[in-house]
A and B are shown apart, each in its own frame.
Chain A
Amino acid sequence: MRFTKPTILKYTLSLIGFIVLTAAMVAAYISLISPRQDDLVESPTNTSSVDTSTQMQPLSTAPPQFLSDTEKNNDELARLQHEQAKLSKEFDKLQSHLKELQDKPSTDIEPPNQDFTDENHEAEEERLNAELVAQMDLLDHTLEGEALDYEWSNEAITALQVSTTQYQDTLIEMIDVDCGSTLCRVMINFTPGEHENSLRHFQNALPWEGEMFFEVQDINIGEAVIYVSRENHSLPRISE
Chain B
Amino acid sequence: MKKTLFITTALIFSFLATIAFADTKIYPGSMCVRWNASQPVPTLNFSSINNPSSTAWLNVDCPFINNGLKTSSAWVKVIDQNYNLNVSCSQNNAYLYQTTWYGWWGARRSSSGTNAAAQHLSWGVLGNNSVSHGYLSCSIPPVYSGKRSAIISYMVKN
Contacts and interface: CB of A to CB of B under 8 A. Distances in A.
Q: Indicate, yes or no, whether A interacts with B.
A: yes
Interface of A: 112-113, 116, 124-125, 128-129, 131-132, 135, 195, 199-200, 203-204, 206, 209-220, 229, 231, 234-235, 237
Contact of B104 (A113, A204, A212, A219): A212
A128 B127 CA distance: 13
Contacts of A200: 59, 137
B68 to A, nearest CB: 5
B107 interface: yes
Interface stretch (B46-54, B76-84, B92-100, B145-153): B92-100
Q: A-side binding surface: helix, strand, loop or mixed?
A: mixed
Interface size class of B (residues with CB under 8 A): 20 to 34
B68 A214 contact: no
Given A113-B68, A217-B100, A211 B126 contact: yes
A214 B97 CA distance: 13
Contacts of A112: 67-68
A229 B104 CA distance: 11
A209 B107 contact: yes
Interface in B24-80: 59, 67-68
19 contacts: A125-B131, A128-B95, A128-B97, A132-B95, A132-B129, A204-B139, A206-B108, A211-B106, A211-B107, A211-B126, A213-B102, A213-B104, A214-B101, A214-B102, A215-B101, A218-B99, A231-B107, A234-B124, A235-B127
